[in-house]
Structures are given as C-alpha cells and as structure tokens.
C-alpha cells in the first residue's frame, strides 16, 4: 500500500552509527542491512526535511554497565524511579563508532540532534531525553525545529527498532505529528522483540511503511 508524503513531511534517521552495526560496541541484529536503503532514499531527495539523531555519550555515562561496579551489560537497574538497561560502552563522543555511518551520503541532511550527552541521563528518543533526577524528560528541541518549518508528519527509520526508533516514533505521535515508521529500514537489538514492537506501533496509531511504498504527493 502506497504512502504519500509532501513538503510537510520530515524523515528522521535515528542513530545510524557504526557502533550499532555488526562488529560495533552495541550491535543491532543485521544493523548494516539498512545502510544501502537509507543511502538510496537520501539520494532520491524524496523528503524536503531530513534530520538525523546521533547518540553522543561522554565517558562514564550513567547508562554504561562499566560505570556501575560489578554490573554487566544488559542488566537492568532502577534509575530515578524508572527501569534502566545498562549498555556496553558505545557512541562515546569523538570516537569513530559515534560518527554518522560513512556508507551513507549525508548531503541531504538538514540537522543533527545529538542526544545522551548528559552524563547522568540516558536518551533514546530524538524528541526527549529519558527521565532525569527531577522526574522530567527534557526536550531536545527537535519538535520546535520541525514545527517552525511547517512539518506535520514524520517518518522514522534507523536503529534500534525496539529502543530508540520506537521511542522516537512514540514521542512524535504524542507531540502531535502524524507518524510513520519504515519497517524495512530499521533493525532491532534482538529480533525476538519484533512482534511486540509491531503490535505496539499499530495499537498506538503509528503507520508501518516500507520504503518502496513511499510516494511524493
């Protein structure tokens, strides 16, 4: 089924970084499989507005298992009253693994939203950080950037489907944007989460789209 977009739609590319690819510090399942499709989509200039998010952590970030004595990656702890997964050290500021993937022509990119730079707060969504010590989720400014350009629809893809892509899509919808997710241009940390992610998206009213179905209106 085709999905028609116009100049009021924006593409959001979530965390397409080497550390999330096979061989990277926090590899997603088949993460590198999305690179050619994203590169092709950007070269086609289908979207007038294109934004990338970039995980950008300092050393010793609170989400790193190595920051917590005796903890192992993928353990869960309570942080500010919320569940927090502890991750391997990844996307450390200034390292090659934190860069935007070199296999993509990024010349169509309008803006980059760096997230996770607060050492004490994790950040999955491109729109809002995770809960901080005050119980709030600070905004990144992305929603305002989009609204100032007349955007009322976002289409999300990237990594990881079951974490940062999902949270970005959910926040976009909650903030009033019509929201779609390019399923074929996302991959999960683990594929066992796919059924639950798919069901969550549909239940919340987020459109699931394939890149080949995009059409300019």
The answer to whether 110 is a known catalytic residue is no
β-bridge partners, 137: none
Catalytic residue among 15, 32, 89, 122: 15
Across 123-198, the runs of DSSP E, i.e. the strands, are 153-159, 178-187
The answer to whether 15 is a known catalytic residue is yes
Catalytic residue among 115, 122, 157, 162: 115
**C-alpha–C-alpha distance, residues 105 and 42, integer Å:** 7
The answer to whether 164 is a known catalytic residue is yes
Task: With beta carbons less than 8 A apart as the criterion, state whether 121 and 129 touch.
Answer: yes
DSSP state, 67? G
Catalytic residue among 28, 91, 157, 164: 164
**C-alpha–C-alpha distance, residues 166 and 159, integer Å:** 9
Give the dihedral sign, CA 90/186/112/81. negative
How far is the CA of 191 from the CAs of 22, 160, 170, 196, in angstroms?
Answer: 14, 11, 20, 10
Summarize the chain as % helix, strand, coil (round to 5). Answer: 25, 25, 45
Active-site residue set: 15, 115, 164
């Amino acid at each position: 089924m085709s999905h028609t977009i116009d100049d009021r739609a924006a593409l959001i590319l979530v965390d397409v970084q080497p550390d999330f690819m096979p061989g990277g510090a926090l590899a997603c399942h088949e993460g590198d499989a999305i690179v050619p499709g994203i590169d092709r989509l950007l070269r086609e200039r289908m979207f007038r507005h294109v934004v990338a998010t970039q995980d950008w952590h300092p050393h010793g970030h609170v989400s790193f298992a190595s920051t917590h004595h005796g903890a192992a990656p993928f353990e869960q702890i309570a942080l500010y009253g919320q569940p927090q997964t502890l991750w391997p050290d990844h996307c450390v500021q200034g390292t090659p693994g934190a860069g935007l993937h070199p296999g993509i022509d990024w010349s169509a990119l309008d803006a980059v939203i760096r997230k996770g730079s607060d050492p004490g707060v994790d950040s999955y969504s491109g729109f809002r950080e995770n809960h901080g010590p005050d119980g709030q989720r600070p905004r990144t400014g992305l929603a305002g950037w989009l609204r100032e350009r007349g955007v009322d629809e976002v289409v999300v893809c990237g990594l990881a489907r079951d974490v940062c892509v999902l949270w970005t899509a959910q926040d976009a919808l909650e903030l009033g944007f019509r929201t779609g997710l390019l399923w074929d241009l996302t991959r999960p940390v683990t594929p066992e989460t796919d059924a639950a992610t798919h069901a969550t998206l549909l239940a919340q009213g987020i459109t699931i789209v394939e890149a080949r179905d995009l059409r300019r209106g």
